[in-house]
Amino acid sequence: MTVLAAGFPEEYSGRRRIAETANGCASEEAYVMQGRSAGAETEGRSNKPKLRRVMSVPDMVVYGLIFMVPIAPFGIYGGIFTESGGMPTLVYIVGTCAMAFTALSYASLGREFPVSGSVYAYASRAINPGVGFLTGWALMLDYILSPVLLYVVSSTALHGIVPEIPAWAFGVVFVLANTFVNVRGIETASAVNRIALVLEMLCLAVFIVLGIHWVATDPSSKGFTFDPVFNPETFDPNLVMSAVSLGVLSFLGFDGIATLAEEAKDARRGPGRAMMASLAIVGTLFAVQTYIAGCISPDGAVFAHDQDNAFYLVAGLAGGRALSVTCALATALSWGIFTALAAQTAISRILFAMGRDGNLPHALARIHPKYKTPYVATLFVGAVSLVLVLVLGRFGTDTISLFVNFGALTAFLVLHATVVWHFFVKKRDGKVFAHLISPAIGFAVIAYTWVSLSMSAKLLGVSWVLAGVAYYFVLRKVLKKKVRFTDS
């Protein structure tokens, strides 16, 4: 079957035009694409189980919040504070505004292509299958290694609290538990996410209340100050933008909502709305907690000799050792269990989409007949995560984080370029701000962050992409495999 420039089969393109003419927009049935040959194969594929559409906008908002971690600044506060010249709140305010442009690009493409696969699916259909494949290949760096990074960080932290249990044992438990939940179904994962969000918000609320009380009443407090938001004595645009490039990494994960399109009740608008809402909520939470921490220690003297534990030392000043340990434990559990669960959910959907299209082994596209989950992809991710936790856990987190950041930021760059190409160049829709200015601003912010990555990150990432180019060449030119979009 001939594939059009936009990546859709002619058969589907015609059906969609007819449906749009009759109803004003494509109906749910008109959007069911089956890029396959006619005959028995068509009948066989149409009867296969599909992902279950059960995710409401609030469910996806919770998923996005868990992925971004509402208490993410707990773990990197020292670095953000130092890099920004003591203005951590400004970093997160600017970071939230900057990432809003990326969320808008996701919303635009999500309405156009309401399918699993995130930027891989968008670029494959809007530009061409080759660009889409390499984008998905880069995304695998982010989504496969993100949970591994989280497992290693959290298991190491818990080992420090309970040294009798080796770090690798915690990692194994995390991997097995999250894989089980993800195979059981998106409803189970969503229920766990809601519980996790409540626990994280409780911890954050305790810090906020005790922090405000300490700033307002303690004799050694300097009171509420505007310095964490803007300090004219230390303000430097270059310094702040450098810190913003670090702060932007705290928002990586909200894009995972796009991978749930085929499990959303409203596939076209739901994910985009959930992205914007989760980004606004988490940005506000980041700003509030860093502002209070900045008021408790505006000069950073409390953690001058231990930036790695900066936030926990600030919390200890406001609420004693109990609050310090609670914040540290909350960070470890949130990253190691709940955020890693969300990351595993996302990558299993990307592998599912790539396997369904023929870019990866088709077995990855199998859906569990009872739970309606891509269980083969989920088990594969669990197995890979288990191996990597045991192997890379002994070498620390630096190498893993290099891969993660490169993959996510590269995919974001392709996302913005795809919006401009598809809407402003190909379709010529004339929406200058939505489809040219907004993605251009988003591209510039992400490009600045991408350039700020270390040379090691770039070399490792480019090497991975080149390996993907070689794989794609063999797949298409040697094995003669064809791309077949079979969205459900």
pLDDT in tens, 325-372: 899 888 888 877 888 888 888 889 889 988 888 889 989 989 998 888
Please tell me the distance from the alpha carbon of residue 91 to that of residue 82, in angstroms, as a whole number.
11
What single DSSP character describes residue 9?
B
Torsion of CA 189, 191, 193, 197, to 10 degrees: 180
Per-residue pLDDT of the chain (488 residues; tens, 9 = 90+): 333 333 333 333 333 333 343 444 443 333 333 333 333 333 344 455 678 888 899 999 999 999 888 998 888 888 889 888 889 999 899 889 888 999 999 999 999 999 888 899 999 999 999 999 999 999 888 778 888 888 887 887 777 778 888 888 988 998 998 899 989 888 888 888 899 899 999 999 999 999 999 999 999 888 999 999 988 888 887 776 766 766 677 787 788 898 888 889 998 999 999 999 999 999 999 999 999 999 999 988 899 888 878 999 999 999 999 999 899 888 888 877 888 888 888 889 889 988 888 889 989 989 998 888 899 999 999 999 899 888 876 665 556 666 677 888 899 999 999 999 999 999 999 899 999 999 999 999 889 888 878 788 888 889 999 999 999 999 888 888 877 766 55
Say what the pLDDT of residue 306 is.
83
The CA-to-CA distance between both ends of the chain, in Å, stands at 18
CA distance 56 to 40: 35
Amino acid in the structure at residue 218: D
Under 8 Å between Cβ of 77 and 250: no
Residue 48: the pLDDT is: 58
**CB distance 381 to 344 below 8 Å:** yes
Closest by alpha carbon to 191, among 183, 200, 181?
A: 181
Q: Which helix (H) or strand (E) holds 319?
A: helix 310-333
CA distance 205 to 46: 49
Instruction: State the pLDDT at residue 394.
Output: 66
For residues 77 and 24, what is the distance between their CA atoms, to the nearest angstrom?
A: 50
In this prediction, residue 158 carries a pLDDT of 79
pLDDT number for residue 17: 38
* C-beta neighbour count of 24 within 10 angstroms: 8
Name the packing angle between helices 186-217 and 340-357 (round to 10°).
140
Helix, strand, or coil here: 3? strand
The whole-number pLDDT of residue 193 equals 87
Tell me the C-alpha distance between 216 and 202, whole Å: 21
Bridge partner residues of 55 (DSSP) = 264
Q: Residue 287: its pLDDT value, please?
A: 95
Neighbours of 219 (CB within 10 A): 4
DSSP, residue by residue, 50-106: -----B-HHHHHHHHHHHH-TTTHHHHHHHHHHHTTS-HHHHHHHHHHHHHHHHHHH
Query: Residue 398: what pLDDT?
Result: 58
Supply the DSSP symbol for 334.
Answer: I
The predicted pLDDT at position 188 comes to: 85
Helices (H), 113-236: 118-126, 129-161, 167-184, 186-217
What backbone torsions phi and psi does residue 3 show, to the nearest 5 degrees? -105, 130
pLDDT of residue 487: 57
Contact 143, 342 (CB under 8 A): no
Between vectors from CA 145 to CA 49 and to CA 308, what angle results, nearest 5°?
A: 140
